[in-house]
Amino acid sequence: MATLPLYAQFINLFAAFLLLLAFAMLAQRRVLSLINLFAMQGFALAVSTAIVAYGTHQSHLYWSAGLTLVLKVLLLPWLLHRLIRQLDVKWDVEGLINIPTTMLVGIVLVVFSFNLALPIAQLSHTVTRATLGIAMASVMLSFLMMITRRKAIPQVVGFLAMENGLFFAATSATYGMPMVVELGIALDVLVGMIILGVFFFQIREQFDSLDLKHLETLKENE
Amino acid sequence: MTPTEFASQLLQLGLALALAPLLVGWINQCRAWLQNKSAPSLLLPYRTIRKLFMKDAVVALQASPIFRVAPYVVFGAMCCAAAIIPSLATDLPFGRAADTIALVGLFALARVFIALAAMDIGTAFGSLGARREMFVGFLAEPALLMVLFTASLISGSTSLPTIVDVFAHRELAIYPSLAFAGVAFAMVSLAENARIPVDNPATHLELTMIHEAMILEYSARHLALIEWASSLKLFNYSCLGIALFFPVGIGVAGAGWTALVAAAPVLVAKLAVGGFALALVETLSAKMRIFRAPEFLGTAFLLAVLAMLVNLLLGS
């Protein structure tokens, strides 16, 4: 086994950590801990992006790392915490299927995405290409989280975590997207978050709860 | 088999038999210190075993031969396991005879016999303990196998001496998969050795017992053998963890006598640190409800599977 340079080993370590955090979010019962885990995932992403920037001398990646740090570790968790305070919703997160089953489905998804990523990763020439599988797996796990959760806030956290996975995929496959695109996505996420926050209030106004199964009855009330 | 191999095998087995009760005593002492109690003597487990050997054994009227044989089988299985796991040196004649899968099989054999003996008497607590033990065991075993498979994937062999040789000689590199496997192994060891998050070794409340409930009917030399065997099991798990994750200091193949002599103090130091860590974990955590155990061990299994998958993907 050829030994990788030290920075590549650290990237692998943080990639594995990212995957672990994705599973931890999937298994988390409490909404506050879920948001803290999301912030930790953002932090791991920022650190690994900074290491990629250091190892490959791609200075624009430092900006991406800084952007990730400000947006996903500080701003978005703060917004979410504020939303929870205002809505006064500290309930436990209820899943549609129980947690051990979700974990097993998660493992199957990880195997699937690792297999899917292997041929794609061979087309790439970056030093981080091996981590593409982990990036895809965290996207899939976030999807799973959005599917299996019933309440609005965990679904939004799942959506944001999916963006984390996509960002990591871009970094590992092509050393990141152009700065303009990255800024655009960051703004999108921020604006999306604010709009969703307004939605939460509207949903609660209408149904007195954030349970999204109430939305299914909209049609019958016409 | 060269004389060196034979000597290292004998020395290792003797050391395991002699040090296992000391490890339990050390853990109890650390735990007492951490909980601000006055600590029992370090040699208390030895005195308990000696006292039990001097007593007359009482066996229930309806006990079948399984009940009498079980302590010897359990003790024998643990001795075999202690002979396989390279704690001092990797030049072991026994190590070549059995690989990691056989090792898991040995642990399973001991578990099956002690559960059978507990059900044999027909008391309520015995069969309750046996069922709980099998419940925990069937969840812990796959996770343990996955941890060992991860180590086998990295080193390319399921034989423990080869794994330790490869791990001791590799270049210093970060292995995320080994970190995951290490955490999974720690969780499995806690469950398998009836330590606090899953079972309480010091409990006097029969309804919450797992391991203790199974041996309630044993007395005298049978009980002494079982106590000794469970301390050996703890010793074996500790040595397995040390061999897989901290192999520095173990005499590798062809290292000779000096390495063998030098390995013993290193092993004792590592065990002392490990025992303190175990006491710390036991002090900091509370016992879980029994139906939380699947979640605890499911997490261990998940970590072990992730370790294997990450190793396949990243090659590290």
Q: Give the nearest chain B residue to A130 (CA atoms).
A: B314
Q: How confident is the model at residue B253 (pLDDT cuts 50, 70, 90)?
A: low
pLDDT per position as a tens digit, B39-67: 888 889 999 999 998 988 888 888 888 88
Question: Cβ separation of A12 and B314 shorter than 8 Å?
Answer: yes
Q: Mind giving me the DSSP string for B74-86?
A: HHHHHHHHHHHS-
Q: How confident is the model at residue B236 (pLDDT cuts 50, 70, 90)?
A: very high
Residue A57 sits at the vertex; the CA angle it makes with A52 and A62, to the nearest 5 degrees, is 60
Question: What confidence score (pLDDT) does residue B295 get?
Answer: 83
Mean pLDDT along residues B273-302: 86
Question: What confidence score (pLDDT) does residue A1 get?
Answer: 43
More confident residue, A166 or B90: A166
Question: What confidence score (pLDDT) does residue B232 get?
Answer: 92
Question: What confidence score (pLDDT) does residue B255 get?
Answer: 64
Predicted complex: ipTM over 0.90: no
Question: What confidence score (pLDDT) does residue B86 get?
Answer: 84
Question: What confidence score (pLDDT) does residue A196 get?
Answer: 82
Domains of chain A by residue range: 8-213
Mean pLDDT along residues A12-25: 88
Decide: helix, strand or coil at residue B136. Answer: helix
Q: How confident is the model at residue A219 (pLDDT cuts 50, 70, 90)?
A: low
Q: Mind giving me the DSSP string for A63-125?
A: HHHHHHIIIIIIIHHHHHHHHHHHHT--PBPPBSS-HHHHHHHHHHHHHHHHHHHHHHHHH--
What's the gap in Å between the CA of B310 and the closest CA on chain A? Answer: 7
Say if residues A109 and A140 touch (Cβ distance below 8 Å): yes
Q: Give the nearest chain A residue to B179 (CA atoms).
A: A13
Mean pLDDT along residues A50-64: 84
Question: Cβ separation of B314 and A130 shorter than 8 Å?
Answer: yes
**Chain B residues whose beta carbon lies within 8 Å of the beta carbon of residue A133:** 313
For the record, the structure tokens of A80 come out as: 């979410």
% of chain A surpassing 90 pLDDT: 5
What is the distance between the alpha carbons of residues A26 and A35, in angstroms, rounded to a whole number?
12
pLDDT per position as a tens digit, B96-123: 778 889 999 999 999 999 999 988 888 8
The answer to whether the Cα torsion of B184, B185, B191, B192 is positive or negative is positive
Is it the case that residue A207 has pLDDT exceeding 80?
A: no
What is the distance between the alpha carbons of residues A119 and A127, in angstroms, rounded to a whole number?
15
Other CB atoms within 10 A of residue B12 CB: 27
Partners of A30 in the beta sheet?
A92
Q: How confident is the model at residue A221 (pLDDT cuts 50, 70, 90)?
A: low
Question: What confidence score (pLDDT) does residue B35 get?
Answer: 87
Question: Cβ separation of A15 and B315 shorter than 8 Å?
Answer: no
Question: What confidence score (pLDDT) does residue B229 get?
Answer: 92
- At residue A124, what is the residue type? S
Is it the case that residue B276 has pLDDT exceeding 80?
A: yes
Mean residue pLDDT across chain B: 86
Say if residues B312 and A114 touch (Cβ distance below 8 Å): yes
More confident residue, A43 or B157: A43
Question: What confidence score (pLDDT) does residue B77 get?
Answer: 92
Question: Cβ separation of B176 and A134 shorter than 8 Å?
Answer: no
Q: Which of A10, A100, A117 sits opposite B295 (nearest CB)?
A: A100
Q: Which of A9, A103, A107 sits opposite B174 (nearest CB)?
A: A9
Question: Cβ separation of B306 and A3 shorter than 8 Å?
Answer: no
Mean residue pLDDT across chain A: 82
Of A6, A9, A23, A172, which to mutate for an interface test with B (greatest number of B Cβ within 10 Å)?
A9
Question: What confidence score (pLDDT) does residue A11 get?
Answer: 85
Query: Of A127-141, B221-235, B260-274, where does the model show the most confidence?
Result: B221-235
User: A49: closest CA among A170, A142, A138?
Assistant: A170
Contacts of A80 (CB under 8 A, 6+ apart): A35, A38, A153, A156, A157, A193
More confident residue, A104 or B171: A104
- At residue A30, what is the residue type? R
Mean pLDDT along residues B183-188: 91
What residues of A are in the B interface, CB distance below 8 Å? 1, 3-4, 9-10, 12-13, 15-17, 19-20, 23, 27, 99-100, 103, 106-107, 110-111, 114, 117, 130-131, 133-134
pLDDT per position as a tens digit, A85-114: 887 776 666 667 777 788 888 989 999 988
More confident residue, B43 or A201: B43
